Amino acid sequence: MTTTTRMLVPAVLLLAPVVQAQSPASLEDMERRLEQLEMQQYEKQNNWSDRISVNGFMTYGITRHDVHVRANNGDPIDYIDRTSDEISHRELSRAGIQFNATISDETSATVQVLARGRDDYDAQVQWAYLSHDLSPSVTVRAGRMVLPFFMHTQYNNVGYTYHWATLPGEAYDVVPFDTMEGVDLSWNLNTGPVSHRLNVYGGATDVPSFSLPAPVVYEVSELTGINLTSQWRDWTSWLSYSHAEVTLDLTDLAGPTGLPVAALEEPVSLDEAQTYISSVGLQYDNGAMVLMAERTQLGIEGWFPTKWGGYVSAGYRFGPWMPHVTWGAANAHGVSEAQSEGPVAANFSAANQVRSKSWTLGLRYELEVGVAVKLEAQRFYDMSNDKIMTNGLFTPQGSAPSIEEEEPTVFRLTVDAAF
Amino acid sequence: MLQKLSVFFLALCCPALSFAGLLVVVAESSPLAEMDRHEVRQLYMDNASRVDGHAVTVLDMPEGSQQRERFYQGATGKSASQLKSYWARMIFTGQGMPPRQVKNARDMVQQVKQNPGAVGYVQEADLQEGLRVLLRLP
């Protein structure tokens, strides 16, 4: 043996245990342990993020109209009680956040809060419910929920989900209450290639309203409704019908209006007035072309005129750009019947009547996935004829001069995000 | 010489392999049978938690990943922003949540292999033992 070899032998003997430790059996052990550790880490993270999820949406918008005529009391004329001829950063701006906690495979709890610029960002809970899957296709929910009156009502605050800066006012600014406390049931079913969602609900709500000279409360009871959403390929259809009894005490208006309290009791104040709200809608979206149309109706027993509204909208996607055009219309009838309920009722009825048509031209730009910028202008026309004189969705003619000659236009610019 | 020729032909085949589409996969032990494009679309869009009576966990690649965009374009024809809009409507009306997102392709393979109830999608190149293909997307 050479000297080198003699030195190598103890070295080999020393290294032998180390070499032994690198044997295939131990390598497997280490790999398995590594996999287990990784799995544990994934599980821990998945457990947490599986249980609670947080989602939100936000809109920043500015809007104004271009009618500089003043109302009879010197105030600016308002569009839907809120927008004037001066730029507002508050009317369209809003933020919402939703917390969803999984309690089990079938049960979850959801709370969704909305804060609007026009309410000075006072947070209101719009959804707060427990959801339980009775079966893979039937879900029951109980708590506070936004009412599904019309096609887009339940997500009307999530601007990112549609192409307009605001939903067509002729259809969506009609019903003065939007949430209820109650129960709803949803059934998902397929008939061949068509998938359906049938939703029924029942509940009640008390909604304060501040759009009249004094605050009033709409007491809505016996509220029930049914709606059906059907989807086939690129088409979606919508049918809905709701019924309620509305009680509205208007006697508090005596002070501000100067009317005697007696004149504001029934039949001017509503007591369990039978109310129905219905709509039929259609959507088409093949990735490039978007079409939407809807017809809505609101009827309240008594002096309140029966209102209907509708729109047809078409848009086309050119990459991130989507120009769109919409025609909208609103009308009311039953004002002459209100004459029989007395002068006060007749006046209120006339103040609530609406007649309006509009063309909206808009452009939506997808800044990135989850953020869209929108610009639109809506021009109103045909708000009066020889039978009725209205200012459409603007301050009524009882309180302001006719504005039709002014070619009233509302402008909106918004940034919508969903995250 | 033969070795050189085989390497040469393999090299010719490689570009073809790199254009392979996505595969919808489950674990070997999964009870699920082959699916068509329509069923995959329903699984990923309609919030299904059961298929043929078996509980499933639908797995998705992270938002913003190219693979995810390609998958949805192939299976549903929807772009990333259309999907975002669709899920925003579903989430904020309480009608459902999007499928759980994994961290990356390796994580996807890991989770599908280890969970017989999981369904996911991988690139052809990431296909491994332990995975069974339900559908090949172009």
- Burial of A233 from C-beta contacts in 10 A (0-12 / 13-18 / 19+): exposed
Query: Which candidate from B46, B63, B88 shows the least CB-CB separation from A161?
Result: B88
Question: Is residue A99 very low, low, confident or very high in pLDDT (cuts 50, 70, 90)?
Answer: very high
Query: Which candidate from A55, A285, A366 shows the least CB-CB separation from B91?
Result: A55
State the pLDDT at residue B17: 41
Residue B1 has pLDDT above 80, yes or no: no
State the pLDDT at residue A127: 97
Q: What is the DSSP string of A229-298?
A: EEEETTEEEEEEEEEEEEEE--GGGHHHHT--HHHHSTTTSEEEEEEEEEEEEEEEE-SSEEEEEEEEEE
Q: Among the residues of A266-388, which ranges form H helices?
A: 343-352
Q: Give the pLDDT confidence of A258-279 residue by residue, as tens digits.
A: 888 888 887 788 899 999 999 9
Greater confidence, A153 or A212? Answer: A153
Question: Is residue A129 very low, low, confident or very high in pLDDT (cuts 50, 70, 90)?
Answer: very high
State the pLDDT at residue A388: 76
Residue B16 has pLDDT above 50, yes or no: no
Helix (H) or strand (E) holding A49: helix A24-51
% of chain B at pLDDT higher than 90? 39
Q: Which residues of A touch B81 (CB under 8 A)?
A: 320, 366, 369-370, 372
Average pLDDT score over chain A: 88
Residue A86: phi, psi to the nearest 5? -110, 145
In one-letter notation, the amino acid at residue A374 is K
Asked if A313 is an interface residue toward chain B (Cβ–Cβ < 8 A), one would say no
Question: Is residue A61 very low, low, confident or very high in pLDDT (cuts 50, 70, 90)?
Answer: very high
Residue A384 has pLDDT above 70, yes or no: yes
Residue B47 has pLDDT above 90, yes or no: no
User: What are the angstrom distances between the C-alpha of B102 and each of A52, A264, B30, B87, B107?
Assistant: 16, 62, 19, 17, 6
Residue B18 has pLDDT above 70, yes or no: no
Residue A389 has pLDDT above 60, yes or no: yes
Q: Give the pLDDT confidence of A65-89 residue by residue, as tens digits.
A: 999 988 888 888 888 878 999 999 9
Average pLDDT over residues B47-59: 81
Which of A166, A164, A158 is closest to A370 using CA atoms?
A158
State the pLDDT at residue B14: 47
Q: Give the pLDDT confidence of A224-254 residue by residue, as tens digits.
A: 999 999 999 899 999 999 999 999 888 888 8
Average pLDDT over residues A157-165: 97
State the pLDDT at residue B35: 86
Average pLDDT score over chain B: 84
Lowest pLDDT segment from A89-103, A121-135, B63-77: B63-77
Describe the crossing of helices B66-76 and B37-45 by its angle, rounded to 10 degrees. Answer: 120
CB contact under 8 A, B89 and A110: no
Asked if A192 is an interface residue toward chain B (Cβ–Cβ < 8 A), one would say no
Q: Which residues of A touch B82 (CB under 8 A)?
A: 285, 287
State the pLDDT at residue A199: 98
CB contact under 8 A, A161 and B100: no
Asked if A370 is an interface residue toward chain B (Cβ–Cβ < 8 A), one would say yes
Question: Is residue B118 very low, low, confident or very high in pLDDT (cuts 50, 70, 90)?
Answer: very high
Average pLDDT over residues B119-134: 90
- Burial of A127 from C-beta contacts in 10 A (0-12 / 13-18 / 19+): buried
Q: Which residues of B touch A146 (CB under 8 A)?
A: 93
Residue A18 has pLDDT above 60, yes or no: no
Asked if A287 is an interface residue toward chain B (Cβ–Cβ < 8 A), one would say yes
State the pLDDT at residue B12: 53
Q: Are A82 and A63 within 8 A, CB to CB?
A: no
CB contact under 8 A, A42 and B107: yes
Query: Which candidate from A127, A162, A372 shows the least CB-CB separation from B94?
Result: A127
State the pLDDT at residue A342: 81
Q: Give the pLDDT confidence of B61-76 residue by residue, as tens digits.
A: 999 899 999 999 988 8
State the pLDDT at residue A22: 52
Nearest CA in chain A to B42: A195
Residue A25 has pLDDT above 70, yes or no: no
For chain A, positions 14-43, list CB contacts with chain B under 8 A: 38-39, 42
State the pLDDT at residue A255: 83
CB contact under 8 A, B92 and A155: yes
State the pLDDT at residue B52: 75
CB contact under 8 A, B77 and A287: yes
Asked if A53 is an interface residue toward chain B (Cβ–Cβ < 8 A), one would say yes
Q: Are A60 and A115 within 8 A, CB to CB?
A: no
Q: Which residues of B touch A320 (CB under 8 A)?
A: 81
ipTM: 0.84
State the pLDDT at residue B20: 52
Pairing relationship of beta strands B57-60 and B118-123 according to DSSP bridges:
parallel
Lowest pLDDT segment from A37-51, A103-117, B83-97: A37-51
Query: Which candidate from B49, B79, B107 shows the least CB-CB separation from A287?
Result: B79
CB contact under 8 A, B94 and A141: yes
Pairing relationship of beta strands B100-101 and A409-418 according to DSSP bridges:
unpaired
